[in-house]
Chain A
Amino acid sequence: MATEQHSPEILSSGAGLAAAVAVEAGTALGEFEPVRARGYWEQVWLRLQRDKVALGGGVFIVLLFLGAFIGAPVAARLLGHGPNDQFAGGVDPHSLLPVGPWAHFVNQPYPGAAGHFGSVFFILGGDGQLGRDEFLRLLYGAQVSLEVAVGATVLSMIIGIIMGAIAGYHGGWIDTIVSRVTEIVMAFPLLLFIIALASTVGDRLDNITLGFLGKGVLTLVLVLGCFYWFYPARIVRAQVLSLREKEFIEAARMIGASDWRIVRSHLLPHLVAPIIVLSTITVAQFILLEAGLSFLQIGIKAPTASWGSLLQTGPDYYLTQPWLMVWPGLAILLTTLAFNLLGDGLRDAFDPRSSR
């Protein structure tokens, strides 16, 4: 019986000119199976699947987003209190130190108060002498950290891509100006600027919440986004400088494509991979930066919970309640690690020459 001869199926990559066409041979000699050309993104996904550590990082990030934006309000509803609610019972009446993990107490306004009061449960104990729920603050802190990090990353990428693409594509005096501006921004003393901003217009800026952000989130997004675009700008500029000399750009130019069309349809698809990799690493950097600024009390304003502010109260209790340093420290460590691992994995996945 004649075996059916399948012709190799070549599929469109869907990723424009950036797609690599791959034809894979059958598994056994003499046996012909339908060979399908895998798209660029499919190959990336396949390579990423092989990197279990990076996948683990990705899963952790997904869970973190779910925990922060869905889990936090659900937990607050189940526990019956919010992250900023203060409880007398959240502090030990004798030592006046926060209660430890897995603490149940009666919600009395003061010890020995008459009447019937409901009970309160703190999973990770109190957050300090104000008697707030450390667990809820950690979850809501994740919201803030992610909002700042993702928001600032998006903003810095947008500015960086625009500046880098303009500089790289046009070259000449435009490139010179953009490059000098980039260097000035790189050399800008950001920390001092943030301190100055906090002590001058910080209060007014912090009050802009757009109805859904915590106080201070927008300020940090703007400040970090506007001062960290130099890194993507330099990478994009370098990529565009090399790409603009390629034949497919020349061909596009010859058929009369406009500059905007060339950049949008022919250059940007080539930049997707480095931008995604850089973004994941930048998110991790911004999480650390937000924690650092809140630790220095120039980031997110109290009582809004953030990992940095939670970490800041920890050292007060390092002898008696060391876990108060452990929870936020662990959250920051695992999150930055997850983003970095995912970034590393993505870089390898986007690289066809990668050993993985």
Chain B
Amino acid sequence: MRPAGGVSSAFDLERSHMHRKLWLSAVMAALGALLLVVAGFAHAASSSAAKKGGTMRLNMSATDVDFSDPSLAYGTISWQIEYATGLKLLNYPDKAPPLGSRLQAEAAAGLPIVSNSGKTYTFTIKRGLRFSDGSAVTAKNFKWAFDRSATKAQQSPATAFMDDVVGYTKAVDGNKNPAHVPGVIARGNKLIIKLTQPDGGLLAKLAMPFFQAISLKTKVDPHGVTAYPSAGPYYIASRVVNRHITLKRNKFYRGPRPHNIDTFDITVNTNLDQSLLQVKSNQIDYDMGGLPSTAHADLAKRYGLNKGQYQVHQLVETDYVALNTSRPTFASAKLRKAANFAIDRPAMLRVRGAFAGKRTDQILPPNMRGFKDAKIYPLKGADYKKAKSLAGSSCKGVTLYTATSPTGQNLAQVFKYNLSQIGCDVNVKSFVGFAIYTAAGTKGEPFDAALVGWNQDYPDPYDFMNILLDGNNIHADNNNNLAYFNVGRVNKLLASANRLTGPARYKRYGSLDVTVSKNYAPWASYDNRNMREFVSKRTGGYLFQPANASADLDTFFIK
């Protein structure tokens, strides 16, 4: 064996291997480049396929938005509109999950500079941003969003989120109109936010519509402004309460977010069944108010599930019966637990129709970080025996608040029937659309139970546990704690959980969810809902925006 030869031959062999590798690399590189080019073309093609212009006709069946004012709007539908119209410091991109749930800078030039103490955040505002009336967006517009929401007369639900901002709570409690929040400073194109203690959830909170850029011309208005200039891809051009909303494209918007349609004509308080027929026949493009609960099985059969027109997506949401702990009926934890054993969760879910979601007996939704499945109450049906043993003969009259919609009425009938089995006489009172939240959110309102739901404002258990169950958050009105649950020990545990970060935070919240549900039962949770939407044949660009929990209006286009 000649080593040289051998060497030589080995060298040759190695060289030939090298050649082959080089070839392969070149081919792979060429293929990669080709794929990139194709992808680029495909993107360009899809972009060009997203036709610009036109008017889309939408319905909002069985309800109007709660408010269109950015400091007051706090419903899933109003936030769907605010998402299309608002410009925030940070926002969720118009993308499907998981990208659509990740915050990125929008009006801010980048992520903020955070001081070592974690208590000062400095944002730099991009230049060249404009409101729909042509005026420039500056740091002052974000400061105004804070001041406006903190003004007592404005009665904004945003006050529940910013108590860590220096001087915010004091401003809320004061009578200055408009309020001045000293912890938020606008200096040139810099916005400085000072906190009393570090808040790991601040960036997510800033992505809520309350804190979008608000024109200085939009004054404090406790009833809420209806149409106003905004700096997002669209703006609310007109609104006649309970009748009509018009969104128009902001011609001054130069940002990266899609904005294909010129005008959205939204008719409010339409009929669900009629609206479904209109979408089927392309007279209407989409109903923001939802669909009749009886239509889902047929829609899935005819149009397929997530294959185009009919879409079903999981929400980070919990539907529940808030059991008013401040009134004699449900002041006793024993009776609240009895109600939890008595309610027939499968029947409650059935009322919502096919693909409605999953049953639950806990506060946190299963897709929320920290959730721990504890199996506390029966998920497969009512346990009247156990419920009766807990209730005894203590249950008399129960006043239940529900929605006037067919689903709301049916849910009330299930609850009424379930509670009648343990001796409670349920008296049902109905409210149109979001009026139930206004009524039940007023302290002292004479209700014992309310059929309500909560969708995450931002992906953190604080948004469920602290916002909905912290007794320190109970005010005269605009309450989110509809169970009026106020237990000193739990309040302390919630506050301590909020001080934690990382896995420890989620673990603590997960445990708290189980503890509160099991020992105190302020809610009778029954399902985690899916968002089910149906668009017309001519509607292109459907995108379920996960943080927004609904269809993204920005990506819509007419085919």
Contacts and interface: CB of A to CB of B under 8 A. Distances in A.
B417 A84 contact: yes
B381 A109 contact: yes
A129 B352 CA distance: 9
B413 A303 contact: yes
Contacts of B429: 203
Contact of B427 (A129, A207, A320): A207
B428 to A, nearest CB: 7
Which of A84, A129, A315 has the largest count of B CB atoms less than 10 A from its CB? A129
B354 interface: yes
Contacts of A313: 406
B382 interface: yes
A144 interface: no
Given A95-B354, A129-B353, A316 B294 contact: yes
B297 A96 contact: yes
Given A95-B297, A317-B294, A130 B380 contact: no
A302 interface: yes
B414 interface: yes
Interface string B207-232: 00000000000000000000000000
B507 to A, nearest CB: 32
Contacts of B406: 313, 316
A13 interface: no
Contacts of B294: 96-97, 129, 316-317, 320
A129 B350 contact: yes
A317 B353 CA distance: 12
Interface in B372-402: 380-382
A255 interface: no
Contacts of A95: 297-298, 354
A109 B380 contact: yes
A320 B381 contact: no
B101 interface: no
A303 B347 contact: no
A212 interface: no
B292 interface: yes
B410 A96 contact: no
A109 B427 contact: no
Interface residues on B, range: 20 to 34
A315 B273 contact: yes
Given A97-B297, A203-B427, A113 B381 contact: yes
Nearest to A204: B427
Interface string A122-133: 000000111100
Contact of B428 (A85, A86, A302): A302
B424 to A, nearest CB: 14
Interface string A299-312: 00111000000000
B182 interface: no
Given A97-B294, A297-B404, A130 B346 contact: no
A96 B354 contact: yes
A207 B397 CA distance: 12
A171 B407 CA distance: 56
B143 interface: no
Interface string A106-146: 00011001000000000000001111000000000000000
Nearest to A109: B381
A303 B426 CA distance: 11
A130 B347 contact: yes
A207 B427 CA distance: 9
A322 to B, nearest CB: 13
Interface string B342-359: 001011001101100000
A113 B381 CA distance: 10
A332 interface: no
A303 B409 CA distance: 10
Contacts of A203: 427, 429
Interface in A75-106: 84-86, 88, 91, 94-97
Contacts of A94: 297, 354
Contacts of B246: none
A319 interface: yes
A269 B292 CA distance: 56
B293 interface: yes
Given A88-B381, A203-B429, A207-B427, A320 B417 contact: no
B416 interface: yes
Interface string A272-303: 00000000000000000000000001000111
Contacts of B346: 88, 109-110
Given A88-B346, A96-B353, A110-B381, A130 B410 contact: yes
A128 B293 CA distance: 11
A203 B273 CA distance: 28
Contacts of A302: 409, 412-413, 428
Contacts of A316: 273, 292-294, 406
A302 B402 CA distance: 13
B381 A129 contact: no
Given A97-B294, A109-B382, A320-B294, A130 B413 contact: yes
Interface in A310-345: 313, 315-320
B417 A110 contact: no
A97 B295 CA distance: 9
Contacts of B353: 96, 129
A84 B420 CA distance: 11
A319 B380 CA distance: 30
Contacts of A207: 427
Contacts of A303: 413, 416-417
Contacts of A129: 293-294, 350-351, 353, 410
The 3 closest A-B pairs by CB, nearest first: A109-B381, A95-B297, A316-B294
Interface of B: 273, 292-294, 296-298, 344, 346-347, 350-351, 353-354, 380-382, 404, 406, 409-410, 412-414, 416-417, 427-430
28 contacts: A84-B417, A86-B414, A86-B417, A88-B347, A96-B296, A96-B297, A97-B294, A97-B297, A109-B346, A109-B380, A110-B380, A110-B381, A113-B380, A113-B381, A129-B294, A129-B350, A129-B353, A130-B414, A203-B427, A297-B404, A297-B409, A301-B428, A302-B412, A302-B413, A302-B428, A315-B273, A316-B293, A318-B273
Given A96-B293, A129-B353, 9 more contacts: A109-B381, A130-B417, A297-B409, A301-B428, A302-B413, A302-B428, A303-B413, A303-B417, A319-B298
